[in-house]
A and B are shown apart, each in its own frame.
Chain A
């Protein structure tokens, strides 16, 4: 209960939130602004209004190829991390395996280790064993960093689920597989769904692994944007970036509608 907070403090709080909001959202708003500008150059506030930079993106092979690779990798990663992470979360939740505490820590450790350290290890190992990197390299390494998110969201919903349902199913004669499919899986579903969306988002936006594990002809969208920014940014970069922002907004909206953001905001 916030009672008897003096008016100046309230005004201060409102001003603080507004300023923080501007600080957090300004870079995104600016990009969308630049992307619809008529000008040849990157300028904000935008001059005029045109969608020519979006047309430029949609007729650029470099961007379309990069987008295609990003989508492929993100979809593969989403499916594998959902399967692998979901199964692991079910087993971890039961706490019946030996060393289950240690196992949980191990499974979540990719969250703690800075991605750059993992990226360099992966590059070195892959080059030593298989030679040049490929889509498979990105697939595997993105799966490693997204699986902990799936495990965490799934564990979060499982911890609120009723443990006796599975027991009841067993008493009623359900086989192991039936129990998993008809009882445990539906219980996991909201968590799995949320984890899946996060996995897609992380893989699609990820730049560090993608920068280390790239080769000519295999660049993801963030790497393509990074390359443009280092050399010659023009408003078409802003158009691609705006499309990516739009996708994120859509994902947040879907997660909130389906599951409620508040459940995962502080996990």
Chain B
């Protein structure tokens, strides 16, 4: 047996599985999205893009995902910076603090927010006691609830991708800036932040992609009235049983994400050589 044969043998089971159970299903979905009763059609797409209801769903998905990504970046960057600069022992605890929610089922975490945000829950109660909101105030079934729940679900991804980049920044750069008379905040802004951009961009793309394609948290916290694209796909599959339309919506999500990822792939490809 040659080296080539050995390596091929090792990779073959995985490759077969990947092609048959991953790429073929996606191809099937792409096919179904353009299939009509008599041959190929773009009817499912025009239906989506000409209905104000679905356009509103699409716009809400993009808007909420952008807000969620922004908040994750605003919390994730300082968090990652602090994690990179504390003692190894404390860092381990902070990593556990970030990873524990990440490794908990999304259903379970969302349930926690349902308890916290419901009318009799802790958060509205505290806000009422502080006199900030009225008697009938409720956070459930609002876009705010979706944003709160999703930020908690996705913050770990952002923090870990920024952390991966920040720990690789040469600490002497920061020291040099400080020695030359830069204040701490100015060093952060002019040295650390620019060098962390790859991590922030990678984290943002990940968070945006995941938040645009999630439906469990939006369904449970936002309810049926506040639909996002992924929730609408799920409804088309399980309730209206309109699979070609579901496939078309999935393709729209897919294309949106590819358009988003493309410039990044080109950028990182260039910087890698």
Contact = CB atoms under 8 A, between A and B. Distances in A.
Interface of A: 1-6, 9, 13, 16-17, 20-21, 23-31, 34, 42-45, 83-85, 87-88, 90-92, 94, 96-97, 103, 106-107, 109-110, 112-118, 120-126, 128, 140-141, 143-144, 147, 176, 201, 204-208, 211-212, 222, 225-226, 229-230, 233, 237-238, 241, 244-245, 248-249, 251-252, 256, 261-262, 265-267
Interface stretch (B40-48, B49-57, B131-139, B250-258): B250-258
B116 A261 contact: no
B38 interface: no
A84 B105 contact: no
Contacts of B13: 83-84, 87-88
Contact of A201 (B91, B103, B112): B103
Interface of B: 1, 3-4, 6-8, 10-11, 13-15, 17-18, 21-22, 24-29, 32, 75, 78-79, 82, 85, 88, 91-92, 94-101, 103-116, 118, 120-122, 152, 155-156, 160-161, 163-164, 167, 171, 174-175, 178, 184-185, 209-210, 212-216, 219-220, 230, 233-234, 237-238, 243, 246-247, 250, 253-254, 257, 261
Contact of B25 (A96, A109, A118, A204): A118
A20 B72 CA distance: 11
A143 to B, nearest CB: 7
Contacts of B254: 113-114, 117
Nearest to A115: B213
Contacts of B3: 94, 96
B163 A123 contact: no
B81 to A, nearest CB: 9
Interface class of chain B by DSSP: helix
Nearest to B149: A27
B156 A24 contact: yes
A3 B6 CA distance: 54
Contacts of A147: 14, 17-18
Nearest to B163: A266
A252 B99 contact: yes
Contacts of B15: 88, 103, 106
Contact of B152 (A23, A45, A267): A23
Contacts of B109: 27-28
A100 to B, nearest CB: 9
B21 A27 contact: no
Contacts of B174: 1
A266 B164 contact: yes
Nearest to A127: B243
Contacts of B82: 13, 16-17
A124 B103 contact: no
Contacts of A225: 105, 107-108, 111
Nearest to A34: B115
B213 A24 contact: no
A226 B107 contact: yes
Given A16-B82, A87-B10, A125 B99 contact: no
